[in-house]
Structures are given as structure tokens and as C-alpha cells.
Amino acid sequence: MINFTVGPVQSSEEICRIGAEQVPYFRTSEFSSLMKENEKLILQFAKADEKSKAIFLTGSGTAAMEATVINLLTSKDKVLIINGGSFGQRFVNICSVHNIPYTEIKLERGKDISEDQLKEYEGKNYTALLVNVHETSTGVHYDINLISEFCKRNNLLFIVDAISSFLADELDVSKLQIDVMITSSQKALACPPGISILVISEKAEKLIYENDPHSLYLDLKDALKNAERGQTPFTPAVGILIQINARLKEIEHKGGIEKEIEKTAELAEDFRKKIKGLPFEIESDSLSNAVTPIHPITNSAYKIFEILKDEYGIWVCPNGGDMSDYMFRVGHIGNLTKEDNSKLVDAFLDLQKRGII
Amino acid sequence: MINFTVGPVQSSEEICRIGAEQVPYFRTSEFSSLMKENEKLILQFAKADEKSKAIFLTGSGTAAMEATVINLLTSKDKVLIINGGSFGQRFVNICSVHNIPYTEIKLERGKDISEDQLKEYEGKNYTALLVNVHETSTGVHYDINLISEFCKRNNLLFIVDAISSFLADELDVSKLQIDVMITSSQKALACPPGISILVISEKAEKLIYENDPHSLYLDLKDALKNAERGQTPFTPAVGILIQINARLKEIEHKGGIEKEIEKTAELAEDFRKKIKGLPFEIESDSLSNAVTPIHPITNSAYKIFEILKDEYGIWVCPNGGDMSDYMFRVGHIGNLTKEDNSKLVDAFLDLQKRGII
């Protein structure tokens, strides 16, 4: 199978090779050193300042999103949530479950946020802003500079889910003054799913120590204290953390974060060029390098996903719920090449020949 | 390295081989079938009745412990917690964080619970009992029949953390009327860490649908609903779930749960026989097949752990906190053999010759 989904994605040979190794015992100085190295490289690639910290949670991205909300926000906050799809909605649901007062800025499917839309919320005593910089469900990559400037002017705590964008799109945590940046192992990190990562500013760290998250597993104080010695409060997904270590070093050796983003951007551009002329619409205002969202005009998106899977050995990424017939997505993260793009486009051309699209 | 810790433990060749494979996309009928098979085999090995359900959470065992508490208990409950070590204490901490009223039955280190100790709590309107059937920190395997009878007489919801005991010691969920049984991927399941599993009785399922856990990630309603179609609410540790599938089938093909327990029991017995005469004390009232807790009389337990790691290529399992000099543990779960036991005992004999123990 060739995997064009947005996670889990394809891993490099080296990452797969490590997957075959026995998982070592981890309450050791050896594992602590590896974890400290993971933290250093994540902070480096996020361009976070030297007072920032990284936390590695064993859980899905949603665990990290919820941990962020409950450790940093309380019922005294007044939160703005940019909601342009199912991951924006997830932040809404998390705030709702935990009784955090919020206002949603609902965006139309496929639309970026505009200066005008934000203006309405200027100077209104909001305390924090939550955004999924790449709304993975619709493939919209928001104007993060615009949002960052808004947060700076209004002195908002700035929380950014960059789960499917980190390492694929430019993101300068320090310059944008992001207080919490969230990502996961199975996106552009191209490791198996199971680990989520938080990059935490000094300001966010202080808030974590002031708050009571009412959770043991998601208590970031505990995670921060353990991280000082390169450990975690509970048995983590050790194997995946070792794979992450190799992958971070792989990125560094290949020229660093800029090269990695460039590679993904080229792959995305190559694909978008190759599908011109096919009966597809791309409805996104602003694309991430990570994904191309495709609305097929002539057949159900889910049907196309199924045929590609069963007859061509290719996974594209179906959408869920009421979007399932409308849209599928093609990922450009993970260990993919331009030749893989060509194979997918050949399959599309064949579907066209067969009258399926 | 030979790994005698209690997790992560050594995996079979087949499990390692799967670790090297690309992790597939999972919102597919193929992955749903695999998950349904995982559920079926877990329920079968737990001897749970046909109305029971299994849930697979991406997280450490503590995530499953906390999920159980917040989905099944409320501030209206009156909970008994058997606390004989750091995992009993973890249940105490979880109940405390969530304001669940509880009484601890504190046990001395190494001691099993007695009928007399339980008598005091008979007919006192408790609503639930929490126990770690194998208190992994001290290696005490509690008299689960005694506790089960107490729960039946007092009509208590019976919650059993069997994280390090499931597949190593006999446990009949149906006969013991256990409402929630918890285990994890990295113990006797001998897969990498990252997945925790809950076996849920019909009674427990009803309670889950009645309660509000105030968490999105750990909401078991959502997990149960998704599990009906063999899915999870959020991206799970797909690779580990595939390894669990292979491992469960491996156990089945090798003669099932009885054979697996027998193998572990033999390994434990072999080890305990071989260390007779060494300057070690075993202070546990009642041993699990999974672990032998060792108090070395002539040197620091942590020192011995370090020397075995650095000079003999062997991991035993150190204890944390104030137990670290007092005790280390030797695990009998995972892919170990009697020859491995001999290698460890040879190392002990060499330490004796060198005057270290």
C-alpha cells in the first residue's frame, strides 16, 4: 500500500528498523539522555526560546489538546476559539466539557480567517485564543501571523494545535509568541501514533504551576517535574520515543527544519500541478504543505477512497461524517516521493478512463 | 541486554517483526475487523461473559485507572481502596484528585489482605472497591477470591487493576464478578507500551452511560460507541494494536490462557529455586507469577541494578523512592526462558564472588 493519509503516515526505513528492536527499560540515565535530546531538538525545530520546555505525553493529539486546556485555562478565562472544522470543534467540545467560557469564531468550510472577522473581538477582555493552525479536516492553513498579531495586541495566551502542520509548514513559536504548541508523532514526524508533544513557553509554564487540572494522567506539573530529569510520570510509549529521537536527528542531518519543510512543499506543489485537468476542486483559501483537500465533482469522495484502497493499493484520507461523500484528502507528509505522486495520479487517470471520476 | 523488568518486557520475534512494518491507515473495515478480534480474544482470556466489552485506550495504565474512576464513580460513592504500595496509592491519588469519597485499607509492605481486615468494612454502605490484584511495587498478589466474596456480599462495584497480572496469574472476571479489569500492552501481553485495556461488565457499561466523566479524551461512552464498529474516537497507537492482535493469536495457538499462565508460573518457580542460598530475602506474603521481589541483605538494591545493567547487560527492575535501596524486582513475563534465568543467577553468583553481594 502507498499511504497518502494524514496519519499514521509512512516512516523511513530507519524508523521501521527501530520498530523491530526490543523496547528497552526506561528508568535509566540512558533513556533520560535520549529524552533530553528529544526535547532539545523539538524546541530547536519549533524555534522556541531557551526558556521553553517540551513535554511528551503518551496519548492521541486530543489528549494533548485536553491537557493544554485543563492545565492552562479555568472558568475565569474568556477564550476565543477559531472553529473552521472538526478539530476547531474539538477545542469547543473540550472547553465545553470543562466549563471554560468561550466564544467561537465559526468559519465557512474552506475559508481562512480575515482581519475583519477578528476586529469584532478586539479589546473585549478575552484571555486566550485557541486555533488549529492547519484545520486538518478541511485542509485550511490559517494566517498565523494575523492571529499572532491579534494575540499580541490583546495580550492573549496563544494556544496553537499544529498537530498536522509542525515540520510541514513554517512556524516560529518564539516570533509568533505561541504559548503552547501541540503536535503528534504520526504526522510530519512520521513515526507511529501514540505520542503527543507540547512546546510550552515560560509564561505557560508559570500558569501550569498555578492551576489545578483535576486530572492525574494529564497533570502537566507532574510531567514538567519529571521532564527535568528526562523522565515521564508514567510508563510512556518508549519505543515511539526512541523512533522520534532517530527521526529528529534524521531531520537535523538532512539540513534541518528548513530543508524538511522545503521537501514537503515541493511534494505538495508537484502533486497539485499533476492533478490539474482532473475533475477535482480544491476549496481551501490557504493550503498547508501537509495536505491537499479534494472535492471530486463526478463521484462520491468516499467511493473513490474505497476503490483506490481495494483496487489500486493506495490510501488517500477519507473525511468523516457529513463530509465523507464530499471530500477526501491527499497527504504530503511522511516518507513519500514524487514518484508516489505519479502513481496516485496514474490511478486517478485510470479512474477517469473507467468513467468512475 | 536481557530484560527482567516488569515492563516494557521482551517481545517475541513475531511482535518485533510487526514493529518494523509500516503502520497502516486505520479508518478502514480491515482495521475494524482486527479490533473486533482483539476484543473477542481479550474477553475470552479474561473469561468475561458475553455481555462484557473491551476498550483499548491509547495511554499508560494510569490513564485507564483514571478513566475507570471518573467514568464509574462520583462524589456520591463511598469507595474502599486496598493500598499496599505505590499502585494502591495511585488509586488513592486519583480518587482524591476527583473528589471521590474513599477509605484506604493500608497494608504493611509485603502483606496480603486478611479476612479480619476486611471484616471491619462489612455492611458499612461502601459502593465500590478498588484493588491492584498484583501490587507491582512490592510483588504482593492479593487473595482475589477473598476480596471478590467481600464485594459480592456487600454488593460493591468491583474494580481490579490487573495490569501486571493479566495473562500471568489466573483471573476469572466472570466468576469473580469483576466489573472493570484493567491491563496494559507492555506487561504479560509483551508488546510495546502505549495501549491500556479495560474489560467492562454489563453493569459497568450501564454506569458509564449514566455518568459524566468531565473529560473528552477519557470519556468511555465515546470509546464504547466507537468500539461497536471496531474503532476508537481518536487516532490510537495503531501499530501496537496490530502487535497485540498477533500476540493474542500467538497465545491462542500455543494452547490458550492456561498454557500461558503455566509457562510463566514455571519460569517463576525455576528462578525462585535457583536463587536459594543467595543473600536475598523475599518479603511477600503471596507471590504473583509475574514478579519476584528481592530484598538483598548485603548491598543496596539500586547499586545491584546498576552493576547488572552496566557490567552484565541485564536489566532487573529497580524500585522507586524510599524503596530504591531496599528492593529490586525480577520479572517473569515477556519472552524469557529458563536459560535467561540461569544467566541472571550466574551474574548474582559472580557478584557474590566479587564480594558485592
What are the pLDDT digits (tens) for B289-317? 999 999 999 999 999 999 999 999 999 99
Contact check, Cβ <8 Å, B239/A8: yes
Contact check, Cβ <8 Å, A97/B233: no
HSE-up (13 A, CA, CB side) for residue B84: 27
Cell of B51: 455481555
What's the gap in Å between the CA of B135 and the closest CA on chain A? 16
Specify whether the CB–CB gap between B172 and B181 falls below 8 A. Answer: no
What is the rounded CA–CA span in Å between residue B51 and residue A5? 35
What is the rounded CA–CA span in Å between residue A99 and residue B302? 46
Bridge partner list, B280: B296
Contact check, Cβ <8 Å, B25/A5: yes
Question: Which residue from B minimizes the CA distance to A317?
Answer: B25
Cell of A163: 498537530
Specify whether the CB–CB gap between A233 and A57 falls below 8 A. Answer: no
Residue of A231, A38, A33 whose CA lies nearest to B320: A231
Bridge partner list, B82: B105
Name, in order, each residue with C-beta under 8 angstroms of B303's C-beta and a sequence gap of 6 or more.
B325, B356
Task: Supply the pLDDT for residue A140.
Answer: 97
What's the gap in Å between the CA of A356 and the closest CA on chain B? 21
Name, in order, each residue with C-beta under 8 angstroms of A346's C-beta and a sequence gap of 6 or more.
none
Specify whether the CB–CB gap between B257 and B167 falls below 8 A. Answer: yes
pLDDT band at B5 (very low <50, low <70, confident <90, very high): very high
Task: Supply the pLDDT for residue A290.
Answer: 98
| Phi, then psi, of B190 in degrees rounded to 5 | 55, 40
Given A1, A19, A66, which is nearest B217 (Cβ)? A66
Tell me how many residue pairs between chain A and chain B have CB atoms under 8 A apart.
Answer: 171
Burial of A303 (0-12, 13-18, 19+ CB in 10 A): middle
Mean pLDDT of B176-201: 98
Bridge partner list, B291: B331
Given A7, A8, A59, which is nearest B63 (Cβ)? A59
Contact check, Cβ <8 Å, A60/B63: no
pLDDT band at B52 (very low <50, low <70, confident <90, very high): very high
Task: Supply the pLDDT for residue B219.
Answer: 98
Question: Which residue from A minimizes the CA distance to B213?
Answer: A97
Contacts of residue B11 in chain A, CB cutoff 8 Å? Answer: 22-23
Task: Supply the pLDDT for residue A74.
Answer: 98
Name, in order, each residue with C-beta under 8 angstroms of A39's C-beta and a sequence gap of 6 or more.
A53, A54, A56, A227, A230
Given A90, A216, A315, which is nearest B25 (Cβ)? A315
Contacts of residue B25 in chain A, CB cutoff 8 Å? Answer: 1, 3, 5, 8, 315, 317
Contacts of residue B215 in chain A, CB cutoff 8 Å? Answer: 66, 97, 215
Task: Supply the pLDDT for residue B74.
Answer: 98
Contact check, Cβ <8 Å, A236/B60: yes
At what angle are helices A61-72 and A220-227 packed, to 10 degrees? 100
What's the gap in Å between the CA of B207 and the closest CA on chain A? 19
pLDDT tens series, chain A, 357 aa: 999 999 999 999 999 999 999 999 999 999 999 999 999 999 999 999 999 999 999 999 999 999 999 999 999 999 999 999 999 999 999 999 999 999 999 999 999 999 999 999 999 999 999 999 999 999 999 999 999 999 999 999 999 999 999 999 999 999 999 999 999 999 999 999 999 999 999 999 999 999 999 999 999 999 999 999 999 999 999 999 999 999 999 999 999 999 999 999 999 999 999 999 999 999 999 999 999 999 999 999 999 999 999 999 999 999 999 999 999 999 999 999 999 999 999 999 999 999 999
Contacts of residue A60 in chain B, CB cutoff 8 Å? Answer: 58, 217, 234-236
Task: Supply the pLDDT for residue A54.
Answer: 98
Contact check, Cβ <8 Å, B240/A237: yes
State percent of chain B over pLDDT 70: 100
- Global pTM value: 0.98
Specify whether the CB–CB gap between A94 and A144 falls below 8 A. Answer: no
